[in-house]
């Protein structure tokens, strides 16, 4: 990790004003080991879940179960309250994002899921509607490895402005952004694609060239909703110490998300 402080958004845009249309709000979550309760934002912590709503199960084939049976309970990955991370993503009037996954690798999952990774379930809800929360969720009957069982962490939200990788910009802006990155960092890029557990912002691209992820329902270009990062604090490891990214349709939050692994 680079130790160079990131310039303020104002300083970045003063140096390169043409970046302004590409700025996106983001929240870096900065997990730290703790024992959060269901009323707090967390990574790998308990979810505010209605007791009368079925807990997500996965019955898809995986490494340990070629036919996907018996179904196994999913595990909490993230719970983010809008009060902690206002701004990017989310339908109007909804204040809670919950992400779960099946803690097993799936080699041939449905098209919206990422290959060779856990299968995700993304839920939006209104926290005030959960008046009788579930106290003891089911545990998974099988799991591939500890890297798919996030350790319980509280989060410290940091609200930032994120910028895209230069290849996602018009050709005339790319060398100017590259020069700004060289002038700012000590070998690392502290301007674009901010790394870590992140809500919103721009995706990292360290395995492939940038690509547009399109909504399977309406063809709209999707935006990054959430980044699951590999790190020591949460114990999560996806891919080759990479990121599992969740993309959402900005036209309609009811359209299915898309996930990929980088």
Residue 165 CB neighbours (<10 A): 19
* Domain assignment present for 2: no
Residue 177 located in a structural domain: yes
State if pTM tops 0.85: yes
In-domain check, residue 40: yes
Q: What number is the average pLDDT over the span 193-210?
A: 89
207 within domain boundaries: yes
Structurally, how many domains does the chain consist of?
A: 1
CATH number at residue 225: 2.30.320.10
Is 140 within the bounds of a domain?
yes
Angle at 114 between CA 103 and CA 214, to 5 degrees: 145
Convert the pLDDT of each residue in 108-137 to its tens digit. 899 999 999 999 999 999 999 999 999 999
pLDDT tens-digit map of 208-259: 788 899 999 999 999 999 999 999 999 999 988 999 999 999 999 899 999 9
Q: How many CB atoms lie within 10 A of CB 197?
A: 26
Read off the pLDDT of residues 85-114 as tens digits, 9 standing for 90 and up. 877 667 888 999 999 999 999 988 999 999
Strand spans (E) along 115-242: 120-125, 153-155, 158-162, 198-200, 223-229
In a domain, 208, yes or no: yes
Other CB atoms within 10 A of residue 201 CB: 29
In a domain, 102, yes or no: yes
Q: Is residue 3 part of a domain?
A: no
Spell out the residues 6+ positions from residue 106 whose beta carbon is closer than 8 angstroms to its own: 60, 61, 62, 113, 115, 116, 117, 118, 119
Domain span at residue 209 reads 9-261
């Amino acid at each position: 990790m680079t130790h160079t402080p990131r310039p303020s958004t104002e300083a970045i845009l003063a140096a390169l004003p043409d970046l302004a249309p590409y700025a996106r709000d983001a929240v870096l979550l900065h997990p730290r080991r703790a024992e959060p309760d269901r009323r707090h934002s967390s990574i790998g912590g308990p979810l505010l879940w209605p007791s009368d709503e079925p807990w997500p199960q996965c019955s898809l084939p995986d490494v340990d179960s070629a036919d996907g049976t018996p179904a196994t309970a999913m595990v909490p990955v993230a719970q983010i309250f809008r009060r902690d991370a206002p701004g990017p993503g989310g339908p109007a009037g909804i204040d809670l994002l919950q992400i779960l996954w099946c803690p097993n690798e799936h080699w041939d999952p449905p098209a919206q899921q990422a290959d060779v990774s856990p299968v995700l379930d993304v839920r939006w809800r209104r926290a005030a509607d959960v008046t009788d929360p579930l106290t003891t969720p089911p545990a998974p009957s099988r799991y591939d490895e500890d890297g798919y069982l996030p350790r319980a962490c509280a989060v410290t939200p940091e609200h930032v402005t994120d910028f895209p990788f230069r290849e996602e910009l018009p050709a005339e802006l790319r060398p100017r952004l590259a020069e700004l990155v060289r002038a700012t960092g000590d070998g690392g890029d502290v301007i674009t694609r901010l790394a870590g557990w992140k809500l919103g912002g721009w995706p990292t691209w360290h395995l492939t060239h940038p690509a547009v992820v399109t909504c399977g329902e309406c063809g709209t270009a999707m935006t990054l909703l959430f980044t699951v990062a590999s790190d020591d604090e949460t114990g999560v490891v996806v891919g080759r110490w990479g990121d599992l990214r969740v993309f959402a349709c900005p036209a309609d939050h009811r359209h299915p998300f898309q996930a990929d692994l980088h």
